[in-house]
Structure 1
Amino acid sequence: MSYEREPLLSADPTTHDLYNTVERDIIRGRQYGWCERFRRSKTAVVLIAAMALFTDMVVYGIVVPILPLIVKERLELDSQAVGFLFGCYALGLLGATPFFAILSDRYQTRKLPMLLGMGSLAICTLFFGIAKTYWQLVIARIAQGAAGGASWTISLAMLADRFGQGEKLGVVMGTVLSANTIGAITGPIIGGALYQYWGYASPFVFCAILAFFDFLSILMIVEPHELQEDNLLDDTRMNTEENGTPVGNLAINNDLSLWSLVRNWDVSTVCVAVLMIASVFSGIEPILPIYLKERFNSDPTTIGFIYISVIIPTIISPIVGSLSQKVGQWLLINAGMILLAIAAALIALPFALELIIVSLVLFGAAYSVASTPTLPLLGEFVAKNGGGAYGQVYALWNMAYSVGMLAGPVIGGVLLQYFGFFWAMMGFAITLFVTALFIMGESYVFLLFANADSGILSDSPSAVALVQDDILISNID
């Protein structure tokens, strides 16, 4: 008795796509096991990006309680040497970030730069453990920053490759930033404990092992162009139809370059906002402990737990990322900067210690509101211009943040020395407030005087974004 094989695809054109999807899923299930399917999934990309940023921040933070002790007690140098050593991280980050970004975009690879960065991170961390002189520590710190440039830039580019633009991109980037926050909290705690109970080299060995584990994990993922070759980016094609933006193609438009992105007013405006946010956020690091010690006689342990109150609220980043797609990214960036300015001013007021902690919680939450929407906003700009430069646009974000990290502590220290803590924080608050007003003013000037029908409005991407924000808000209302 023989059976004829029923055709899987229906003759009815209305059901053809459904059955075609079913057949493709069956073939995929037979061809690949669960491990291979996971390697090709978006979940794997999010996991790898989160692990990379977590590891980078753990390694960054784990040396915070250790390096001052090494420089002062073992090498017998002053606080100025400690400050320079901490600033060397940003120097390495600034120097290496463009290299990794251009390599990633031009040669259509994300894995290679990430592998180079993570492998370098493991090696330079071990170098901390064997360094005997101050300049060896400086070299190790610069190399650590250079390796961090790959983790930040390429991780964000990987997410943009797979998620394109829309609410999902904001949510996953917020989630990854939460992993970064967890690393910022746990790093100093792990470093202090390991150094105290297991000796000088133990924190660096721990970091090297963690970085090596991440190195092996990066080897697992499959790059977007490989998925295209295997004809496995079905969800990418769906996103292309829905958003009008190709996702997962690294070489759609190679005309976008680092220089063309810098000259774009919208991208430059975002980078200015990021620079200001980062400078204020990092600027309180060297001056807050001094203020707490002088005014409230807080010990180092108390200061450490107080500073955690700034970090913990940043776990709201996934919520902010989702919300930014609904109410508008520019609106949240401006609102977050104004809230950050208010929080900085409140910290400066001579409150009781408990009220200062509340102000610091507001400061950390405002930081997330201001900074998180900048990431999907830059990704959407590149996507709308054909893609192909995600690595480079996030390199600019990373470089702007690095300049802020480098300038903020220096400016904060100078203001504290010559004007005191109150005016240092007020200076930060006024600068943030003026920057937010500038961004809003630039957008509204174009809204008032540009004629959208004649195409003049398109010359101001930030004004277009503001119009889109207004449309989104009106739709919600």
Structure 2
Amino acid sequence: MAGGGRLQAWRESRRLVLAIVAVALLLDNMLLTTVVPIIPEFLYDIRHPDAPLSGPVMQEVTTTLTPPCVCPGTLNITTNTNETNTAVNVTALEQMRHKELVEETVEVGMMFASKAFVQLLANPIVGPLTHKIGYSVPMFTGFIIMFLSTLIFAFGRSYGVLFMARALQGIGSSCSSVSGMGMLAERYPDDKERGNAMGIALGGLALGVLIGPPFGGVMYEFVGKSAPFLILSALALGDGLLQLLMLQPTVVRQESDPPSLKALVMDPYILIAAGAITFANMGIAMLEPSLPIWMMDTMGAGRWKQGVTFLPASISYLIGTNLFGPLGHRMGRWLAACIGLLIIGVCLICIPMATSINHLIVPNAGLGFAIGMVDSSMMPELGYLVDIRHSAVYGSVYAIGDIAFCLGFAVGPAMSGTLVNTIGFEWMLFGIAILNFLYAPLLCFLRAPPTKEEKKSLIVGEKSSVRYVSYQNEEEE
């Protein structure tokens, strides 16, 4: 009996719900970023099985060279000719490889963007659905879909299958993100506590982003492509069993009438907060498919370096989200997000100036920290805006927040390949930096947004003044 009571107390615990949401976001984002150092090289290697990207260029040209003549009188001439031919062939193959890598950026970008596009389409369905059936069932559905997606990644051996796995992950991510954030907003009604809880949950997201690239790069290098995804699927299974035991997914209907998705989308203050999330994440989203390929092309970076390059951004994002969960409430979330966007712009401008992996550490760290500032400030701000301007039902507003997040990760990778091909890697990042600089001042509008009562009184005041003017006109006539 005591054991049953303890289990019931665990099920009602807010901290347990927070832990489950944080783990779900961690695994989802581990899968999201584990593929970053794997996919570009894996796609190149399956198209060039005899000349893998990790192999030296010299090996590719040895078969094209004629053996040197053994005649003493012509030895030096033949050797020089062969050396010249070797240099020409190596240069030609390097140029061909460079051309193929730039073209592959488009394909990799489209694959990475597919998850965000599908998630973008699923969010407007999942958000209102949580109002009808509660948060636990969509949350568990998200686990099942993510588990399937991970297994497809493990055994997929073609671009089409991997593309499908990435797109399928978008549906699972939509279920997990919208339900998880809505669940936290409901369990933590106090605005300060909610900010802290969401900072911790986003810390789980950050940890997934932190672990993913180096985990994927190292496992692919030393064990094989399937290994990281099989480990992830085992971890996801553990999280699913925890949800089944503790959350006991059941249909729960909301008591209060939820605000319509249309009403929330038409709210300018919610749109400003959501827009900040989009622009903050667009830069890192553009870097995901293009930076590893740019590093291979300009620095000759290997797999582990491509994975490790995102490590400073992930560590600083983890610090930023945990720091600005509580600090954003104290200093003003609008100000934290405004400063964050400005820092993002500066860091994006610095990245193309790097000539080695060491030069990427500071701008990547600054980028991650600033994105953490924006995300951990604007996610709880969305819940706060719904509380004061609509009604305290959170599924739809976090669907909008997730749409904003996905919009950055859909537009970013989808456009990055085309932009790299047309204007170059440097100008692509300069352009998104300018957009961040231009958007930052809009966050001043979130300094003191009007509440529902103020909004109503304003409308009533406007109607009264209209009536008074029309009455005066009638009197004059």
**Pairwise TM-score range, normalised by the shorter structure:** 0.7 to 0.9
TM superposition shift of 1:381: 1.8
Change (3 A) 1:457 1:254: closer
Per the alignment, residue 427 of structure 2 pairs with: 423
The answer to whether 1:396 aligns with 2:422 is no
Q: Check conservation: 1:332, 1:370, Cα contact below 8 A.
A: yes
The answer to whether 1:34 aligns with 2:37 is no
Q: State which of 323, 326, 339 in structure 1 corresponds to 2:327.
A: 323
Per the alignment, residue 267 of structure 2 pairs with: 264
TM superposition shift of 1:335: 1.5
Q: Check conservation: 1:251, 1:387, Cα contact below 8 A.
A: no
The answer to whether 1:61 aligns with 2:33 is yes
The answer to whether 1:314 aligns with 2:286 is no
TM superposition shift of 1:392: 1.2
SS state at 2:259 partner: coil
Per the alignment, residue 117 of structure 2 pairs with: 91
Higher mean C-alpha deviation, range 97-106 or range 352-361: 352-361
Which letter does structure 2 place at the counterpart of 1:404?
A: G
SS state at 2:348 partner: helix
The answer to whether 1:214 aligns with 2:186 is no
Per the alignment, residue 284 of structure 1 pairs with: 287
Deviations 1:55-107 (A, max 9, x none): 11122222333333443333669724333222211122112222222221122
Per the alignment, residue 45 of structure 1 pairs with: 17
TM superposition shift of 1:315: 1.6
Which letter does structure 2 place at the counterpart of 1:41?
A: S
SS state at 2:317 partner: helix
Deviations 1:348-372 (A, max 9, x none): 4468764542222112111111221
TM superposition shift of 1:376: 0.5
Change (3 A) 1:224 1:386: farther
Q: Distance in 2 between matches of 1:66 and 1:161?
A: 38
Which letter does structure 1 place at the counterpart of 2:166?
A: R
Per the alignment, residue 211 of structure 2 pairs with: 186
Q: Check conservation: 1:271, 1:397, Cα contact below 8 A.
A: yes
Per the alignment, residue 129 of structure 2 pairs with: 103
Deviations 1:95-131 (A, max 9, x none): 2222222221122x21111111101111222223344
Which letter does structure 2 place at the counterpart of 1:191?
A: G
TM superposition shift of 1:436: 1.0
Change (3 A) 1:348 1:69: closer
Q: Check conservation: 1:110, 1:223, Cα contact below 8 A.
A: no
Identical amino acids, percent of aligned pairs? 26
**Which has the larger Rg?**
2
Q: Check conservation: 1:252, 1:387, Cα contact below 8 A.
A: no
Q: Check conservation: 1:253, 1:385, Cα contact below 8 A.
A: no
Change (3 A) 1:38 1:314: same
Higher mean C-alpha deviation, range 70-79 or range 59-68: 70-79
TM superposition shift of 1:298: 3.9
Q: Distance in 1 between matches of 2:127 and 2:301?
A: 43
Higher mean C-alpha deviation, range 80-89 or range 42-51: 80-89
Q: Distance in 1 between matches of 2:162 and 2:363?
A: 36
Q: Check conservation: 2:143, 2:176, Cα contact below 8 A.
A: yes
The answer to whether 1:164 aligns with 2:189 is yes
Higher mean C-alpha deviation, range 396-405 or range 349-358: 349-358
Q: Distance in 1 between matches of 2:432 and 2:359?
A: 19
Q: Distance in 2 between matches of 1:31 and 1:405?
A: 45
Q: Check conservation: 1:161, 1:224, Cα contact below 8 A.
A: no
Change (3 A) 1:330 1:458: farther
TM superposition shift of 1:194: 3.9
Deviations 1:278-302 (A, max 9, x none): 2122122233334445554544433
Per the alignment, residue 349 of structure 2 pairs with: 345
Q: State which of 165, 179, 183 in structure 2 corresponds to 1:154.
A: 179
Which letter does structure 2 place at the counterpart of 1:212?
A: L
Q: Distance in 2 between matches of 1:213 and 1:454?
A: 49
Q: Distance in 1 between matches of 2:132 and 2:412?
A: 33
TM superposition shift of 1:198: 4.3
TM superposition shift of 1:224: 11
SS state at 1:102 partner: helix
Question: What is the RMSD of the two structures over their aligned residues, measured on CA atoms?
Answer: 3.2
TM superposition shift of 1:36: 2.2
The answer to whether 1:142 aligns with 2:145 is no
Which letter does structure 1 place at the counterpart of 2:122?
A: A
Q: Check conservation: 1:251, 1:388, Cα contact below 8 A.
A: no
Change (3 A) 1:271 1:443: closer
How many pairs are equivalent?
403
Q: Distance in 2 between matches of 1:376 and 1:458?
A: 30
The answer to whether 1:175 aligns with 2:197 is no
TM superposition shift of 1:326: 0.9
Q: Check conservation: 1:252, 1:388, Cα contact below 8 A.
A: no
Q: Check conservation: 1:104, 1:391, Cα contact below 8 A.
A: yes
Q: Check conservation: 1:282, 1:404, Cα contact below 8 A.
A: yes
TM superposition shift of 1:395: 0.9
Change (3 A) 1:458 1:170: farther
Q: Check conservation: 1:160, 1:169, Cα contact below 8 A.
A: yes
Higher relative contact order (CA 8 A, sep 6+): 2
Per the alignment, residue 74 of structure 1 pairs with: 46
Per the alignment, residue 369 of structure 1 pairs with: 373
- Stretches of structure 2 lacking an aligned partner (at least 5 in a row): 49-99, 462-477
Change (3 A) 1:274 1:325: same
Q: Check conservation: 1:334, 1:439, Cα contact below 8 A.
A: yes
Q: Distance in 2 between matches of 1:445 and 1:435?
A: 18
Per the alignment, residue 434 of structure 1 pairs with: 438
The answer to whether 1:360 aligns with 2:360 is no
State the TM-score, normalizing by the size of structure 1: 0.76
State the TM-score, normalizing by the size of structure 2: 0.76
Deviations 1:144-197 (A, max 9, x none): 111111111111111101002321111111111111111112223333444444
Q: Check conservation: 2:182, 2:394, Cα contact below 8 A.
A: yes
Per the alignment, residue 14 of structure 1 pairs with: none
Change (3 A) 1:356 1:71: closer
